[in-house]
Structure 1
Amino acid sequence: MLIQNEKMMIRKLQEADKEMMVKWLTDPEVLKYYEGRDNPHDLEKVDRHFYRQEDETTRCIVEYEEKAIGFIQFYPLDQQDRMEYGYWNPEEIIYGTDQFIGEVDYWGKGLGKLLVNLIKEYLLSEKQANVLVMDPEVWNERAIACYEKCGFKKIKFLPAHELHEGEMKDCWLMEFKKAEVEDL
């Protein structure tokens, strides 16, 4: 277990989670928002994409009331992303996250907000992050609204930023700055 509150827990991805990841990443409703409906993941693809990566990304399962409901990953921003996003200060600790609720019956219940706030607090306190970023596609209004409720702000339009369902999609760079909270 990495992070926990009364109802939600974020724990590291385990081998036993592969079948569940396949279930989520073959569901067209989930794929509409994460990876794309043209990119379902079988067992081999889940293994390659989520288990065999040699990088600094921490991949996790999200549990709500002891039921696995989703996935989240977080990572320090690499030099390429820092330059693209306009973060020139090498002293700043900047983390990015990607997440989805894989159990569609749990959508629309405020769990995205609970998840984003939980990971935000963890990254700010345990990883000493100064800035947190996400880059949702501009059409994903539900995700953007969730992130804004958690204190993230749209700060930069990213044209043709992400390949999704065969097209390069525009995204928003959204940011949460620890210093802005401390100034309040």
Structure 2
Amino acid sequence: MSNRDHSIRLEPSVLEDRRRFYDWLVHPELVPFLLGPPLFPDADIPTWEEFSADYLDYFFTGSNPELGRCYRILMDEVCIGQINYASGLPSHLVAELDIWMSSPEFCGHGYGVEAIQILSGILLNDLGKEELVIRPSARNPRAVRAYEKAGFRRIEIDREAAAVSYGNGDYYDDVVLVLRKNP
């Protein structure tokens, strides 16, 4: 499966997507790559209530785009994942991205890379962001490589400085990658 054979685009999510996105995040085939033991004992699998508290209505309604938004990742009009940004960071000019696919079958083909590039363009060119950050675990080297392919670059920053600049991360071994409007 090559991206040249498929059309990838983003579509704003709606409230009805919240449960579907949660189900994908906690799907037994994807969890080993993202959350929980044995590889991620420091990143608990969220309950529905915890997920809903993190992903408030505005992520799905677009009512507060300065704070964040979720998008469906569509491949040939089929929803294959979700990507989002949050801007509740110390600076309103910085947004943090997060992405997960609906199934392992959509991983490793470049669809996520393309979705990240599309959302990065929206944030940097249309929404006035100056810097984007994404923080996977070092235990997820495929994700790190994908973000680098999307144009993000690793920065050397200690955990405390990263927390001041970007808020707390999800993992004890966050790899901080950034994409700046003006490098």
Partner of 2:182: 179
**Which structure 2 residues correspond to residues 24-43 of structure 1 after superposition, within 5 A?**
24-36=24-36, 38-39=44-45, 41-42=47-48
Partner of 2:77: 66
Following TM superposition, by how much is the alpha carbon of 1:35 offset from its aligned partner in structure 2, in angstroms? 4.4
Following TM superposition, by how much is the alpha carbon of 1:119 offset from its aligned partner in structure 2, in angstroms? 0.9
Are 1:119 and 2:128 matched, yes or no?
Answer: no
Partner of 1:100: 100
Partner of 1:50: 55
Q: Report if the CA contact (8 A) 2:135-2:176 is conserved.
A: yes
Partner of 2:13: 13
Following TM superposition, by how much is the alpha carbon of 1:93 offset from its aligned partner in structure 2, in angstroms? 2.1
Q: Report if the CA contact (8 A) 1:31-1:40 is conserved.
A: no
TM-score by length of 2: 0.72
Q: Report if the CA contact (8 A) 1:57-1:74 is conserved.
A: yes
CA distance in 1, matches of 2:69, 2:87: 10
Q: Cα–Cα, structure 1 residues 158 and 59, in superposed 2: closer, same or farther, change >3 Å?
A: farther
- What's the Cα RMSD here? 2.8
SS in 2 for 1:156: coil
Q: Which ranges in structure 2 are unaligned for 5 or more consecutive residues?
A: 1-5, 38-43, 161-167
Q: Cα–Cα, structure 1 residues 94 and 22, in superposed 2: closer, same or farther, change >3 Å?
A: closer
SS in 2 for 1:14: coil
Q: Report if the CA contact (8 A) 1:158-1:171 is conserved.
A: no
Query: More deviation in 150-159 or 54-63?
Result: 54-63
SS in 2 for 1:51: coil
Highest RCO, 1 vs 2 (Cα 8 Å, sep ≥ 6): 2
- Opposite residue 39 of structure 1, the aligned amino acid is I
CA distance in 2, matches of 1:66, 1:78: 32
- Opposite residue 173 of structure 1, the aligned amino acid is V
Q: Cα–Cα, structure 1 residues 53 and 170, in superposed 2: closer, same or farther, change >3 Å?
A: farther
Q: List per-residue Cα deviations over 1:31-88 (Å, max 9, x = no partner).
A: 233443651544x554444235797121222221111111111122522xx5xxxxxx
Higher strand share: 1
* Percent identity (aligned): 21
Q: Report if the CA contact (8 A) 2:97-2:134 is conserved.
A: yes
Q: Report if the CA contact (8 A) 1:158-1:172 is conserved.
A: no
CA distance in 2, matches of 1:40, 1:27: 12
Q: Cα–Cα, structure 1 residues 58 and 19, in superposed 2: closer, same or farther, change >3 Å?
A: closer
